[in-house]
A and B are shown apart, each in its own frame.
Chain A
Amino acid sequence: MRSMLFLFREFLSSLALNRFLHFTYGVQVTISLLVLGIFLVLMLGAAVIWNRVGNNLLIHAYMSSTMTETGILQLKNELEQMDHVHDVEYRSQSDALAIWEAKNPHMDLGILESDDILPASLIIRATHPRYIQGLAEQIKSMPGVEELRYGSEMVQNFLKVMMILISIGAVTILLLLVFTASSISNIIGMSIYARRTEIRIMQLVGATWWFIRWPFLFEGVFFGTVGAIVASLIIWALLLMMSEALKLSELTLALPYFGLNTGGIFVVLALLLLSLGGLVGFFGSLRTVNTFLGRETEVNLDALRVRQLTR
């Protein structure tokens, strides 16, 4: 514990000694994490839209007028047993009429003096939007089904495009994570070079390998987390500005996650960025520390040992 406190103080004094250098390192990591954060926001938004649109996609199967209620309920049971079916709702002719009247209060169908003007239907929700097309094909050929309506081709295409965008976004985020890790690795590499005398002294006076590594790991985690905090704050400010701008336009209706839940998005993003920043900082610096310090000590010794064994 005493050693860790000493190492932490050493790390702080090293930060203070090379203020300008560390500031530029910090800016470099912050920019990487900022770009990463912006992509995360876009991904979160895309995922929300995809889910919302996807969950609203239903299959409406309109029943033939010859089907009795018993027959329809039997069909409902059959459908509920099918793979990829989440739930099935039965809408009788009178229910359909009531809904229609509620939606169109100015149009009076009472003159027809009949409540069987609209067909009964089964409303099917799939477990995932990608199964809708397949389910529709199967239901269409079922006896008693007269007509089928489900998410239009445009919506289906929209979902496909969203899926592609989410995939591209995921790959980009992975690449940005690698880029951030290599930024931190470079920083630690330069830091090791700048402190090579100190490392040599540590080795000579009997510091353990972990004791030598810790200050650099502190540094990696420090840059990762501070970069994440600054990047999160910048993104928060951008989200606030955007949501204010969107409130003035009708886009808020189309993109509800922007206008309505900026706080939630920010909390998720900040937690994600902090965890990613800390982890990438730790493992990025650990990799570099092992590479550089290993190259000067253990690896050389191991190479020598191999030569000895092969003699």
Chain B
Amino acid sequence: MIKFVSVGLTYPNLVNCLRNVNLHIQKQEFVFVVGPTGGGKSSLMKLIYRDAIPTSGKVFVFNKDIAKMRIREIPFHRRRIGVIFQDFLLLPHKTAFENIAYALQIRGASGRQIGQLVPEVMDWVGLTKRQKSYPHQLSGGEQQRVCIARALVNKPDILLADEPTGNLDPDTSKEIMDLLVRINSRGTTVVVATHDENVVNDYRKRTIVISQGQMIADRTEGGYLNAEEAANA
């Protein structure tokens, strides 16, 4: 589903973000991408949802070379990928319901579809009673649930979570991670970029370690950085 072949990414300011990354993520997999801040985790995510293209090597998503994708194809590529961030990215003047409906509205969904799909997904993430609340009236965990619901409402094949628990306390982090695991169990491929050691160690999922732009480990049994990796990071 996602394949990186000798991928390098250098930004125009000549900062090397990724160097010779090779990886293959299968359909329905749950993968952690771990490593220190600035190590290249977010850049790896950006390549998947085509917010950047590799300066060397190739990235295939849904069997398509993202570098050969035309500009007008990008929106349709992104409709198959849900993305959530540490800083939530919610519209402050819209309610939780409206924020989620927004993702459907830009695809031209009808009022009836919105009325059916949004309550369904809100129920699924546990926000049924918060439909009319504005973001500032929601806790951090609830805001992240709204983001997850917005990402899920389009029924994506891949869910990318870039530091989804970065702004949350441990209990709420666990709730969000449980939710992501549930999403994965429904058949969605989930990629979580994090530097939260506890989260990675608790869930024991496949873990890819990235440091200074290089993939230094790919552990199917999971687990955060070992002593050697931490020393190299």
A positions within 8 Å CB-CB of B? 2-3, 6, 13, 17, 197-198, 200-209, 211, 298, 300-301, 303-305, 307-308, 311
Contacts and interface: CB of A to CB of B under 8 A. Distances in A.
Interface string B51-71: 111111000000000010001
B52 A311 contact: no
Given A198-B91, A308-B56, A205 B12 contact: no
Interface stretch (B34-42, B99-107, B196-204, B212-220): B99-107
B76 A305 contact: no
Nearest to B89: A201
Contact of B67 (A197, A204, A211, A305): A305
Nearest to A202: B106
Contacts of B52: 300-301, 304
Contact of A205 (B10, B11, B103): B103
Contacts of B77: 206
Contact of B79 (A205, A304, A311): A205
Nearest to B111: A2
Interface residues of B, number: 32
A3 to B, nearest CB: 5
A205 B91 contact: no
30 contacts: A2-B110, A3-B106, A3-B108, A6-B105, A6-B106, A6-B108, A13-B93, A17-B93, A201-B89, A203-B51, A203-B78, A204-B89, A205-B103, A205-B151, A206-B76, A206-B79, A207-B106, A208-B75, A209-B71, A209-B72, A209-B75, A211-B75, A300-B12, A300-B52, A301-B52, A301-B53, A303-B12, A308-B53, A308-B56, A308-B67
A208 B106 CA distance: 8
Contacts of A200: 89
Nearest to B83: A204
Contacts of A197: 89, 91
B47 to A, nearest CB: 11
B173 interface: no
Contact of A206 (B10, B54, B56, B107): B107
A237 to B, nearest CB: 38
A201 B105 contact: no
B195 interface: no
A205 B154 contact: yes
Contacts of B49: 204
A6 to B, nearest CB: 5
By Cβ-Cβ distance, the 6 closest A-B pairs, closest first, are A206-B79, A206-B78, A205-B103, A207-B106, A206-B75, A3-B108
A201 B101 CA distance: 12
B53 A201 contact: no
Contact of B56 (A208, A211, A303, A311): A311
Contacts of B12: 300, 303-304, 307
A301 B12 CA distance: 10
A307 B91 contact: no
A198 B78 CA distance: 16
A4 to B, nearest CB: 10
B152 to A, nearest CB: 11
Nearest to A6: B105
A205 B106 contact: yes
A2 B108 contact: yes
A201 B102 contact: yes
Nearest to B52: A304
B145 interface: no
A211 B108 CA distance: 10
B55 A308 contact: yes
Contacts of B19: none
A208 B75 CA distance: 5
